Amino acid sequence: MRNSNNEQHMKIYQQLTAYSFATTFLFTSLFGAIENDEKNLPDDMQKIMLQSKYEHAIWGLYVKDLQTEEILYDLHSNKLFSPASTTKLFTIAALLNAFGNDYRFKTPVFATAKITDGKLQGNLIMVGQGDLTMGGRQPNSDTIAFTKMDHTISNEAPGVILTSQDPLQGINDLAKQTFQKGLRELSGDVIIDDSLFETVEKRGMILSPMIINENLIDLVINPTEIGEIAKLSWRPQVPGYKVDNQVKTVAKDGALELEISSDESGHNIVVKGTVPLGQKDIIRNSAIKDPNHFARTAFIQALQKAGVKVNVPSEAATMTKPLSSYKDLDRVALWTSPPLSEYAKLILKVSHNLGANLSALLLASHDGKKTFDEGIQLIGKFTMDNVKLSPNEFVMIDGAGGSENRFSPKAEVQLLEY
């Protein structure tokens, strides 16, 4: 473990146990026949496990008192099951082990020339650091906000509530800092350096070094009058992105049916369907397909609002290669995130798939690597070297809980013991 000290060890344990089933892991899988080893289990558990719908299922259960080390229940605890989102426990343990609970993401902006008389005859470069929220969930410098139903699953689940924070908070703050450094006119370009790790799509989500609003545009739909176009608002709004609202209001007993589509660039979003009277703040989302373009456009907009004259068009496609080193450049702004422990809380509390899979890329970058697969290998290495599982005791394809992953109930408890 990093620094091999008991204090860090305890911090990781506290993070995991605070957002998991502590010492109990119960799995069900659709193979095999149910056995009669459940006779010592509580009656309420037996009633669930012996329901007819689980006739062809096999259950795995392992309950251990971590203080006395007494095994309270042991049922198929060495069999491999699909762990679903408990996979995230291994991912986050590896992330905290590598970076530490107190690590903070620091996203800088550099100028390639000196600011003279308020003018910059050079470029501004924002260097993506893999900050999952970039201030978009940040009520203060040490906290990340979340709701019971996260906006990342708004297309799959009802009841999503948006956090109140501005998704562009971090970008806007960087622009204000740049203005406070004396910049009034930019004659060069605005560049996003995304060289920290590869940009890749996993589970329909874009993972990238520069992330705004988790690379999603939130759509909020409300009914108006029957037969009329519904009210639609969206965030974050930047130039060049448009939403075509074709949603109609129907009677209270009508169907809630919404279809979200966009062009290849993701810049032109179309929302079709119906929303009944009585519904309120129906949330859906559309993917930001080019995070660099979105961040660049958002930063140009923020600079202009802060009072900086920017002479490059917002829609310009000029993305020069990023500089390999920034040691000789002036840093004009820096966004600092809350501690990593807050990200762990977010990911485990709302089962944040994008954040969990992003963790693999962060681990890769921490080890001087670039790819998602290399990050997953590092989680596997942590699981073997630190948690002491053998390669035959788990299968890990992603960091969030994909259907290909396999862990045993005993392996999960072994992680918590670690």
Tell me, yes or no, whether 83 lies in a domain. yes
**Domain of 234?**
216-287
**CATH number of the domain encompassing residue 347:** 3.40.710.10
Last residue of a domain, one of 287, 304, 325: 287
Tell me, yes or no, whether 17 lies in a domain. yes
Specify whether 283 is located in the same domain as 345.
no
Tell me, yes or no, whether 348 lies in a domain. yes
Tell me, yes or no, whether 391 lies in a domain. yes
- What is the average per-residue pLDDT within 104-118? 97
Tens digits of residue pLDDT in 50-89: 899 999 999 999 998 878 989 988 999 999 999 999 999 9
Q: What is the pTM of this model?
A: 0.89
Q: How far apart are the C-alpha atoms of 104 and 402, rounded to whole Å?
A: 28
Which of 22-31, 146-155, 352-361, 381-390 shows the lowest per-residue confidence on average (mean pLDDT)? 22-31
Tens digits of residue pLDDT in 189-228: 999 999 999 999 998 899 999 999 999 999 999 999 999 9
3-state secondary structure of 108: strand
Angle among Cα 399, 404, 405 to the nearest 5 degrees reads 50
Whether pLDDT at 6 is above 90: no
Q: How far apart are the C-alpha atoms of 125 and 196, rounded to whole Å?
A: 14
User: How many Cα atoms sit within 13 Å of 179 on the Cβ side?
Assistant: 18
Produce one character per residue of 356-380: b if its CB has 16 or more CB atoms within 10 Å, e if not: bbbbbbbbbbbeebeebebbbbbbb
Non-local (6+) Cβ contacts of 270 within 8 A are 243, 244, 246, 260, 261, 262
Tell me, yes or no, whether 322 lies in a domain. no
Tell me, yes or no, whether 246 lies in a domain. yes
Q: How far apart are the C-alpha atoms of 315 and 189, rounded to whole Å?
A: 12
Specify whether 92 is located in the same domain as 17.
yes
- What is the average per-residue pLDDT within 326-341? 96
Tell me, yes or no, whether 326 lies in a domain. no
* % of the chain exceeding 70 in pLDDT: 89
Tens digits of residue pLDDT in 175-192: 999 999 999 999 999 999
Kindly give the pairing relationship between strand 190-193 and strand 124-127: parallel
Q: How far apart are the C-alpha atoms of 242 and 75, rounded to whole Å?
A: 55
DSSP output for 287-355: E-S-HHHHHHHHHHHHHHHHT-EE-S-TT----PPPPS--TTSEEEEEEEEEEHHHHHHHHHHTT-HHH
Specify whether 8 is located in the same domain as 70.
yes
Specify whether 7 is located in the same domain as 91.
yes
Residue 222 φ then ψ, to 5°:
-135, 145
Look-up: residue for tokens 């020339």?
113
- As for how many domains the chain has, the answer is 2
Last residue of a domain, one of 287, 316, 331: 287
Whether pLDDT at 28 is above 80: no
Kindly give the pairing relationship between strand 257-262 and strand 24-29: unpaired
Give, for 13, the enclosing helix (H) or strand (E): helix 6-18
Tell me, yes or no, whether 157 lies in a domain. no
- Both structure tokens of 294: 């979105």
Bond into 42 cis (ω within 30): no
Whether pLDDT at 33 is above 50: no
Tens digits of residue pLDDT in 258-283: 999 999 999 999 999 999 999 999 99
Kindly give the pairing relationship between strand 119-120 and strand 115-116: antiparallel
Whether pLDDT at 370 is above 90: yes
